[in-house]
Amino acid sequence: MEAGERWGRLRRQAAEYYRGHRVPERMEEALNTLFPLCPGDLYGELANYFSKFSKAPVICKLVGKKVLDGVGQPTLEVEVYCTVKNYEKRICSIVMASHSQTPENALPETIEADEKERNVSVHTAVEWVNESLNTMLRGLEPTDQCQADKMLGEYFANKVEERKEIQKREEDAAKATPVPASCPPTPITKQKRGGKPVKKVVVEENPIPPAEPAEPVLCGSLAIGGTSLAIAKAGATISRVPLYLYIALLKHNQESPKEMTLPLPMVTLLNCEKNLPTKLKLVKEVMLIPPVELSLKQGIERILDIQKEMTRVLESSGKMPGPQADSKKGKAQSSGKKALPPPLKRISHLGCLTTGYDNLEQLLLLMQTACKNIGLELGTDMYLAINCAAHELMDYDKRKYEILTGTFKSPDEMVAMYVEMVNNFPFIIALIDPLRKEDREQWSSICCALGSKCYLIAEDAATHISKLKTDQNIAKCSGVVLKYINQTKVSDLIEFTGILDGQRQVTILGSPDGESLDESLVDLAVGLGARFLKLGGLSRGERVAKYNRLLAIEEQLAANGTLR
């Protein structure tokens, strides 16, 4: 009797529980809806029908791992696990690209110190993800990007304050330690014969703004950018939309764009290392930009043709092809001697040929010759962009840029040189970092002189994204290369690209030096509506994977009828 009563009570409780969740009503709706369809997989369709009533997935675990990037440097991987229909499920992962501010001609001890710092930073980032961030973000819906980035920003701000307090304590401790007094050195003076001592007076000529200190990077900051991007990718996966569309929806307040434009690729053809024995130092990268009337697939195929021909020309023996002797510098350097072909060393970490030249005209005329050999014309069928990396050229003792070995130019002379270059070679449509960021007066001059003919783009001449949003003292330019590194969050990119759009400046998404096979950067560029995408060359798997992703997005947009 008691067992019967208990059973009856359980039945009533079960009925109330299921009625409270409208299970009988929805079961009847499902059966009535599916019967006319007679699906082949009835239980699969029932599962699909009821899944729309399930709770939204929430983050249950973040996992940080130390992995290697495309050049063998340590970097951070972030995995996102969510509770989906009561089960823990791995949703996605991202690998952050590593970025170094150490120039290529740095001293060995500087490079070694940078590598040690990178290892410590990655180790700290892994700890942040697995401990603090894992606990902090547990239970958050991955589709709530705004809240996730807000929490990540607050966490990072607290870490910055903690670091400042530690530094202050260290400084106070250092001040409290007595320092032994030392006598100041006696100045050495020269004495004229039969005369009074004469002190040497140093007259400063043509002062230049001193180099601004490198933007400090907080140890472990990779965790912030990595977690933000991983959550965005998880949100896209949960929402069953591609990441590029998910980013576009975030930028446009969930309004689905009717048309989307692909960024034009800046494909690196040549990497001219500045520590080669050749004289030219002005050029770090030579990039090809296909004309807008070509599809991405057609543009990539054309660039590959130029790359093959350029390789053949560089490897051929004998004197330089083309009319290089027509240039003034070519005449001076080639008179009476056969010019040797530039050395073809290897494929660089940027995924392109590494070579060097003795002057700019030699390089540009060789490019023209290679294009003409396959029936193409620079300025019509293909365009050039040049990364000057001017911050690596400044000789602070001479207060001038060393553009060729032993040849120096002041900032004002650099502006005049660029004007002449673009006038003589109008197929150059973009200059990246033509000047240091500190030469703001010359940035204004060059923008006035060339702004209507050529994109003048700041890459290293721009500051960190977190400062770009608030720092109004930025060099005047046509656009900025943005890199997804360190504490950059998805919301930061969305906000700052909106600022650039409002100022009619172009956005270029750039690939850092240490890339991985992660393709998220391409989706970010498409979703944010970037004008250009700077990925490096068409070699090395981590570079080519991104071009393949861009080609796949082009096919998807064309199939959907949303490709503009």
Question: Domains in the chain, ordered, with CATH?
Answer: 15-52 (no CATH), 59-163+217-240 (3.30.390.10), 259-314+345-560 (3.20.20.120)
Distance CA 468, CA 28 (A): 57
pLDDT at 1: 60
Q: Is 61 helix (H, G, I), strand (E, B) or coil?
A: strand
Of the listed 134, 271, 359, 486, which one is catalytic? 486
pLDDT at 330: 42
Unique residue bearing structure tokens 């009797």:
1
Task: Give the pLDDT confidence of 386-429 residue by residue, as tens digits.
Answer: 999 999 999 999 999 999 999 999 999 999 999 999 999 999 99
pLDDT at 553: 97
- In the predicted model, residues of the chain with pLDDT beneath 70 are 1, 100-106, 179-206, 274-275, 317-345, 461-475
Q: Which residues of 467-478 are buried (b: 16+ CB within 10 A; e: fewer)?
A: ebeeeeebbbbb
Q: Which residues of 323-342 are buried (b: 16+ CB within 10 A; e: fewer)?
A: ebeebeebeebbeeeeeebb
Q: Which residues of 79-100 are buried (b: 16+ CB within 10 A; e: fewer)?
A: bbbbbbeeeeeebbbbbbbbbb
Distance CA 31, CA 43 (A): 11
Q: Is 354 helix (H, G, I), strand (E, B) or coil?
A: strand
pLDDT at 356: 86
> Among this protein's residues, is 275 annotated catalytic?
no
Task: Say which residues have a Cβ less than 8 Å from residue 108's Cβ, sequence separation at least 6.
Answer: none
Distance CA 462, CA 181 (A): 43
pLDDT at 206: 62
Decide: residue 193, CB within 10 A, 0-12 exposed, 13-18 middle, 19+ buried. Answer: exposed
Task: Give the pLDDT confidence of 277-334 residue by residue, as tens digits.
Answer: 788 999 999 999 999 999 999 999 999 999 999 999 988 844 333 334 344 444 444 4
Instruction: Report helix, strand and coil shares of the chain as percent, to nearest 5.
Output: 45, 20, 40
Unique residue bearing structure tokens 């240039």:
327
Let me know: does 495 contact 470? Beta carbons within 8 Å.
no
DSSP letter for 190, please. E
Let me know: does 386 contact 286? Beta carbons within 8 Å.
yes
Q: Is 337 left (phi over 0), alpha (psi -120 to 50) or beta?
A: beta
Let me know: does 401 contact 395? Beta carbons within 8 Å.
yes
CB atoms within 10 A of CB 147: 13
pLDDT at 469: 57
Distance CA 500, CA 483 (A): 15
pLDDT at 557: 96
Decide: residue 369, CB within 10 A, 0-12 exposed, 13-18 middle, 19+ buried. Answer: middle
> Quick one: CA torsion of 349, 524, 507, 412, rounded to 10 degrees?
-30
Strand-pairing partners, residue 285, are: 271, 387
CB atoms within 10 A of CB 281: 24
| Helices 145-176 and 490-502, axial angle in degrees (round to 10) | 100
pLDDT at 462: 67
